[in-house]
Structure 1
Amino acid sequence: MPMHWDAFLAAIQERGEYDSPEEAERAARVVLALLGAHLVGEVRAELAARLPDALALVLLNPLHCHEPLPPERFIRATAAWIEGATERTATWDVSAVLSVAADLAGEELMNQILLQLPPGYDLLFGRPQPVR
């Protein structure tokens, strides 16, 4: 069952220490649109099913990327899409949104998500993986 819109934005607002739900929503829309370009198939659909409907649509209709971005470039791309953002604030935005998404996803889906992403995303989701 998808998380309720207000609860999802409240969780992001709290983690990101944003002044308003609008700031949390702006970060969520940009980060999830970029993330959606990196995930495919069942994994993307399953994560979308756990998000509030409006944000599920953002994930399923992503911004286009020509190649999977490594974490540093994902943060740079986020900064480029958020007016007035820097790499430092974008890192904060990405972690706030992705850590809440990781909580919704749960362990099993998170493992599948991380398999589709370049190395290093585990830290952005707040889920550091043991080194293999």
Structure 2
Amino acid sequence: MITDVRVPLEHQQPYTAAYGQMLDKVRYEGAYPTRERADEAVRLVLSGLGRQLIGDERVDLARCLPREAARVLTAQIPDTQPLTGWAFVKDLAARSGASLATTRWDTGSVFAAVAAHADPELITRILHQLPTGWALLFGQAELTPAT
């Protein structure tokens, strides 16, 4: 269960077409029953990502995303100590009250949509900025340099 403060439906602004398409992708990837459930996942995961990204990667990703998603990402103050991929999932689960499995599912579903909006080079830059474990969250192999 996600416990953020919600705006009553009658006061919500309609989504832009681009954000609606992003929600549809997340809904499809995550097999969510409603667009509202996909929106909850997007807001949870992007707010968490916003606490992890800094610098040009943060700005460039915000430019790629629909306006509503970019606002969620950039509204967060980055943490001083970035989390590993697994610690990120555990942090989101603790904040939302959801299980680790559900939170991991939400993360993968949202990051699939994020990767569809950003070019592969930007995703690579983001993954190089973050600690280990993030590539798997983006559906990529975790590559380590040969020694």
Q: TM-score, normalised by structure 2?
A: 0.81
> Could you tell me which residue of structure 2 aligns to residue 94 of structure 1?
107
Residue 103 of structure 2 is aligned to residue 103 of structure 1: no
Q: Which entry has the higher C-alpha Rg, 1 or 2?
A: 2
Q: Is the 8 A contact 2:27 2:33 kept in 1?
A: yes
Q: Is the 8 A contact 2:89 2:103 kept in 1?
A: yes
Gaps of 5+ in 2: 1-15
> Could you tell me which residue of structure 2 aligns to residue 123 of structure 1?
136
> Could you tell me which residue of structure 1 aligns to residue 49 of structure 2?
35
Superposition pairs of residues 1-132 of structure 1, within 5 angstroms: 4-62=18-76, 65-83=79-97, 85-132=98-145
Q: What RMSD over aligned residues (CA atoms) do the two structures have, in Å?
A: 1.8
Q: Which amino acid counterpart does residue 88 of structure 1 have in structure 2? A: A
Aligned pair count?
A: 130
Q: Is the 8 A contact 1:16 1:92 kept in 2?
A: yes
Q: Work out the CA distance in 2 between the residues paired with 1:126 and 1:119.
A: 14
Identity %: 35
Q: Work out the CA distance in 2 between the residues paired with 1:41 and 1:63.
A: 12
Q: Work out the CA distance in 2 between the residues paired with 1:82 and 1:44.
A: 23
- Report the CA distance between 1:37 and its aligned residue: 1.4
**Structure with a larger share of its residues in helix:** 1
Sort the Cα spacing of 1:127 and 1:39 in 2 relative to 1 into closer, same or farther, 3 A: same
Indicate the SS of the match to 2:88: helix
Sort the Cα spacing of 1:49 and 1:73 in 2 relative to 1 into closer, same or farther, 3 A: same
Q: Is the 8 A contact 1:95 1:126 kept in 2?
A: yes
